[in-house]
Amino acid sequence: MNKKAKIVRVYLPPDANTLLSVTDHCLRSRDYINVIVAGKQPAPQWLTMEEAVRHCTAGVGIWDFASNDQGGPADVVMACAGDVPTLETLAAVDWLRRYVPDLKMRVINVVDLMTLQPPTEHPHGLSDADFDALFTKDKPIIFAYHGYPWLIHRLAYRRVNQRLHVRGYKEEGTTTTPFDMWVLNEIDRFHLAIDAIERVPRLAPVSGHFDP
């Protein structure tokens, strides 16, 4: 990420179809350093192949099938980058939709990390207008990330909306179960759900009653 923007690309496909699309793109590219972060365990398929190609081409996008803010403003943005963060974000959203049904959520998945930067810093970067249209200008953003949280803050520090709370790797855990690793690093569905509740102003006064 510290190398020249015209050379480096970093992709975090959330499922096998997006992994296929990203890999096809990278194998056809020339004169780039392409980094693909992907797991090797079986995982759910979130997108069809056609949807995956469109999503990877854009690099970032709203997942309408998981969101419930259509037709009105979102209360909170649930963002994710990486296969495990995506799984846990969607699980958190499912829990919130069952227990806080009036909470309006927008789910955003990021495949291309460089889209978080302004276009002046990277050719894949989103314009301020496009970034605001996706992430809003003033709603809390709960961002689940595969790596160290500080990187997301570093990429997005010039954006208008700084209500950004990132969950990521905290150097916690040892030989244990995958889910226990997620809990130890506080990137699991329950921490994400609590983050959303605590950062929505109208829910904060009653947040102590929620115990996922």
Of 60-69, 148-157, 167-176, the least confident: 167-176
Output b/e per residue, 63-96; b: 16+ Cβ within 10 A: beebbbbeeeebbbbbbbbbbbbbbbbbebbebb
Contact 141, 135 (CB under 8 A): yes
Q: In what order do the strands lie in the sheet with 164-167?
A: 60-62, 105-110, 76-81, 141-145, 164-167
Q: Which pLDDT value is given to residue 27? A: 96
10: helix, coil or strand? strand
Map out the domains of the chain with their CATH numbers.
59-207 (3.40.50.920)
Contact 182, 91 (CB under 8 A): no
Other beta carbons within 10 angstroms of residue 2's beta carbon come to 4
Which tens digits make up the pLDDT trace of 23-39? Answer: 999 999 999 999 999 98
Cα separation, 90 vs 67, in Å, equals 9
Which tens digits make up the pLDDT trace of 79-137? Answer: 999 999 999 999 999 999 999 999 999 999 999 999 999 999 999 999 999 999 999 99
Tokens 């909170």: give the residue: 76
Which tens digits make up the pLDDT trace of 179-211? Answer: 888 888 889 999 999 999 999 988 866 666 565
Cα separation, 79 vs 81, in Å, equals 7
